[in-house]
Amino acid sequence: MGVVIEREEWALTPLAYPLLSAAGLAAALLLPYFSAARTPAHAAGSSSSPFDVGAAPFLRFRRVFLVIFSLASVVEGIQSVFGEDEFVRCGLGREQMAARLAATAAAALFPGAISGVVADKIGPRRACIFYWVLQLAVGALKSFSALGCAWINNFILTLASSLFSFCFETWLVVEHEKQDQKQDLLFDTFWVMTFFESVSLIGSQEITNVLVSNDDNGFLLPYAFAATLSVVGILYMRNASSTTQHASAVGSYQKSFFAHVLRDKRVLILVLAQAGIHFAISAFWFLWAPTIVADGRYAQLSVIYPCFLASRMLGSAGFPWFYGATAPLRNEDSLTIAYIGAGLALSIVAYDYQEIGTLVILFCIFHACVGFILPSLARLRTKYLPNELRGGMMSFSLSLGNAAIFVFLLQGAHPRSIPNSTILGLASCGLLGAGGCIHMLRRWRKHTRQNARSL
């Protein structure tokens, strides 16, 4: 008599994703009607949509910028969503995947660290073109399944992801300064960027699911589609108006970097805060799936992941409610709370909690905090950092996070060297420490204001 093993399946409630998405859209669309700071503009007859505000020249640029940025986010999503499946197709196990990723992270660590400096020197438009060229190379190579397992693909992709984190933001800020727009419009664009990025990542997952079914002939359509989008991005950026960056000699750039980044406590705090959130997001990406299915139950991961992105949409849409003259808390205070919330969510996961429903809720809280943290950090960078050093500062912070990622990936190449809960626990400690740093930044700014008043 045969033994029948029943597989227990955990299913997500069908209302989770629609409710999260509706909450995010409601937070964005209802903002002009409930924010006192935006009521005069609405009453004057301007657009009530937060996606369609600003003077005519900057509004045209903003629309095109969001389209190009969304295309870049779709390409990033295709590369990340299809990446794990690619390793499986190559016949790589968990330890082999970790070793491959560790080698790639080590090879890209130095180029990734100096990529921001190079981007600052050549200007944001050329940096964006270079990003699209890298994505085109990766998409063209990975379109053929025989070349998909080459380690050079992961190296180029790591370098492109490093550029993606700051080249579009720098381009936006330079154009904003060029047109002499109000700073509130720039802060609004920061959270809209995070909102559109989350929507684009969801769209990239749908595109990949549609195109991946027709790859039996050795030609992978998702990567071919990403290469096509890269060509579109290159053609637009070549025809875009050239925005001259603050060109400077290498020596003067080095002196400016030491003065405004390494010797400025406020900017160093932002460096550590950015490194902490980068490491936490990377740790989540590697460990969320094995954590959810660790108890042996089956769960549809492709349905759960869009809920995390919808939570990120909700967090980014909540950002404009917490800054400005009428906000209940100052931006540093809200950012501190978001860091603490994300850290506590991961700390509970690191405690090895096994209930899938609770894990999904905690990961949704983590992503909602991430959606709030990213535009908040961009806002603080604009306040405390000269724009000509933005790429160098961000690549420096990312290199710190990548160094920690490399160490844990190297350990993960050997079975049972470091438990997943330990990595998540360290990510949680990093987030809590970053929250403490932001609180120190708030106290320093308050103390500086008090000294100025006494004078």
Give the mean pLDDT per block of 10 residues along the chain (455 residues).
Answer: 56 83 83 58 48 68 90 89 66 69 73 84 89 92 72 82 90 84 82 92 85 64 89 88 54 82 88 92 86 79 88 90 68 88 93 82 94 93 88 88 80 64 90 91 62 36
- Residue 168's pLDDT is 93
* pTM more than 0.95: no
Structure tokens at 290: 């094995």
Contact 124, 177 (CB under 8 A): no
Beta strands at 298-299 and 9-10: parallel, antiparallel or unpaired = parallel
The CATH fold assigned to 247-455 is Growth Hormone; Chain: A; (1.20.1250)
- Residue 367's pLDDT is 95
Q: How far apart are CA 348 and CA 81, in angstroms?
A: 26
Dihedral pair phi/psi, residue 144, rounded to 5°: -105, 120
Element (H, E) at 9: strand 9-10
Cβ neighbors of 440 (< 8 A, separation 6 or more) are 269
- Residue 324's pLDDT is 64
Element (H, E) at 10: strand 9-10
> What is residue 144's DSSP assignment?
B
Question: Domain locations in the chain?
Answer: 54-240, 247-455
Contact 372, 332 (CB under 8 A): no
- Measuring CA to CA, which residue among 368, 394, 378, 370 is closest to residue 114? 394
Which parts of 152-307 are beta strand (E)?
Answer: 298-299
Ramachandran region, residue 47 (left: φ > 0; alpha: ψ -120 to 50; beta: rest): beta
Give the class (CATH, top level) of 54-240: mainly alpha
Q: How far apart are CA 20 and CA 302, in angstroms?
A: 16
- Measuring CA to CA, which residue among 344, 359, 362 is closest to residue 432? 344
> What is residue 1's DSSP assignment?
-
DSSP result, 29-51: HSHHHH-TTTHHHHHTT----TT
247-455: same fold as 54-240? yes
